[in-house]
Structure 1
């Protein structure tokens, strides 16, 4: 009985250290416990902090046991944890969040993550992950760096901003130009919009939209990531 309690205590201690305990037995007799841990990716804690500043909620869904999962989540600063989850359970969690009206981006690298990557609004696979996960994802982080998750989200937001700006430019030209071309100002100013000027305005509308889109060529990743990279270099 005392030996059993000792083994349970060792397993709990391993879980608190973010390790998965494996009991080793020879001839049906327990001879030891091996603690296995999957090291955190560099900068994981800082990336979670930056995502929080970007108003992005981070949720960890893992197949590990609750003790190990909570220890890892506590280390990186994730509050919402779902542990002992099977592949279909991860996909169900994604659908549950979607039913709550949330846009879900799933980041994974294993075969078990594939169903959730497919179910998510945006699936992001780690470049060093399995081929199945890469095939199931919408975005592949080629450098296998978690910082690229922030870059992908920031770039998508900048792209959507450009799309909205294009709508503003296009609608602005038409809202102003169509009434003038129809003669709205003629009764008051005797002004008619010449055909050549109307054609120039239409061309200017297209040029404005194209130029606004081309500004994405000068995109630079968030400066916070550069500061994060510098701090990691100092630590090494």
Structure 2
């Protein structure tokens, strides 16, 4: 739903040089949020401090040692696990998250040093694509690793009613299975390596063409480009295709049910029967070729 190019929108500083340490700590990460913080640091002409130690904490953030100081950059859960009190800044974090921003917390030597808010821009066509899916009577769910407030803010903006927030990569396949147990046919749309299990589990896996190769290989359908508007178009085209197939089966069965007994009774000359059979095949092919003129 988003462009995948997050940018830093707000920086709240509670300790001097907080941003210097945060940018330096994130220099060891390849995560999109980390790249956003690094790019912001470059814009602010911040000099990188050398990393004495670095480790990524999956889904929670990073830990680094810089100038013999332990620096943490990540989520509330990371701070809670390290017994760092963030309660006094809860209102500020909530305000940022309600605006659809991800609040990254920065701690230095066990003390909260600042908050860096990062936001990703929603694609122009996402809202239209969601509305188009609803018009096709398709229920839309969003599964994301973002916190609940941020996820709900984004979902509200694009028109998604059902949201799974703070989802770990392995949980996406479980969500698909849960919906299937409710009797739903599930189409999963994803673009990352972590989406592959859910794409495989779904009744129909749809990979974004600009995504990871493993996602494309796992999915049943690959949508060219990164435009979500291709999803309702794919569904509409598939429905028209199935309708066309049912038409062909009906008319072929109807035609042969009448024609074969007449031919078997000897009431038709062989050349007439052959011509009639050829006409039957031509009519089916001609009906199928109408799909080439479909505009969605």
- TM-score bin (small chain): 0.7 to 0.9
- Of stretches 96-105 and 169-178 in structure 1, the one that deviates more from structure 2 is 96-105
**Match of residue 88 from structure 2:** 6
Deviations 1:38-82 (A, max 9, x none): 221222112111111111111111122212111111111111111
1:116-174 residue CA offsets vs partner (Å, 9 max, x unmatched): 11111221112222222222222222221111112111111111111111101211211
Cα distance, 1:211 vs structure 2: 1.0
Per-residue displacement from partner, 1:195-232 (whole Å, max 9, x unpaired)?
Answer: 222222211111111111112222212xxxxxxxxxxx
Report the CA distance between 1:98 and its aligned residue: 2.2
2:247 counterpart of 1:165: yes
Q: Given the two structures, how large is their TM-score scaled by the length of structure 1?
A: 0.83
Does the 8 A contact of 2:86 with 2:112 survive in 1?
no
- Equivalent residue in structure 1 for 2:112, among 11, 16, 30: 30
Q: Given the alignment of the two structures, is residue 208 of structure 1 paired with residue 283 of structure 2, yes or no?
A: yes
Give the match's secondary structure for 1:181. helix
- The partner residue of 2:271 within 190, 196, 202 is 196
| Equivalent in the alignment of 2:210 | 128
- Deviating more after overlay: 74-83 vs 91-100: 91-100
1:175 alignment partner in structure 2? 257
**Aligned partners of 1:86 and 1:27: how far apart in 2?**
28
User: How is 1:61-100 mapped onto 2 (pairs within 5 angstroms)?
Assistant: 61-100=143-182
- Higher helix proportion (structure 1 or 2): 1
- Return the alpha-carbon distance in structure 2 between the equivalents of residues 202 and 101 of structure 1: 43
Contact kept in structure 2, 1:18 and 1:69, CA below 8 Å: yes
Corresponding pairs, count: 212
Q: Secondary structure at the match of 1:86?
A: coil
Q: Distance in 2 between matches of 1:109 and 1:213?
A: 32
SS at match of 2:227: coil
1:155 aligned partner: 237
Q: Is the 8 A contact 1:73 1:81 kept in 2?
A: yes
Report the RMSD for the aligned CA atoms in angstroms: 1.8
Alignment pair present for 1:143 and 2:225:
yes
Q: Which consecutive residues of structure 2, in runs of 5 or more, have no partner in the other structure?
A: 1-84
Deviations 1:180-203 (A, max 9, x none): 2344xxxxxxx8233222222211
1:16 corresponding residue in structure 2: 98
Q: Choose between structure 1 and 2: higher strand proportion.
A: 2
How far did 1:4 drift?
4.1
Range that drifts further, 40-49 or 172-181: 172-181
